[in-house]
Amino acid sequence: MRMALKETLERVDADLAAGRVPMARQRLRGLVSSYPHHPGLRRRLADIYRLYGDPAEAGRWTYLEEDRLPDEVAAF
């Protein structure tokens, strides 16, 4: 794992712990742009959208996963 990726994920965790969900979401979207083939990032981003109650966005980031939720994929 590259250092920038690791450091940014640590910041995401800190943002979530402090209740800064929009900042965590923004950081993860940036990471997904930088590391588009990293499946763990997409899953974490979907988890954040679930916190917001946004199944369409959660489905957007998990539709390729084996354990995707059909309701979220349909909403996407």
Give the CATH number for residue 63. 1.25.40.10
Domain residues for the domain of 35 are 1-74
pLDDT at position 62: 78
Q: What is the pLDDT of residues 11-42, one digit of tens each?
A: 999 999 999 999 999 999 999 999 998 879 99
Q: Which residue has the higher pLDDT, 65 or 49?
A: 49
What local confidence, expressed as pLDDT, does residue 19 receive?
94
pLDDT band at 3 (very low <50, low <70, confident <90, very high): confident
d(C-alpha 75, C-alpha 60), whole Å: 9
Distance (Å, rounded) from C-alpha 55 to C-alpha 49?
A: 7
Whole-number Å distance between alpha carbons of 5 and 17: 18
Q: Are 42 and 62 in contact (CB under 8 A)?
A: yes
Distances 46 to 3, 32 between C-alpha atoms, Å: 23, 11
Total domains present in the chain: 1
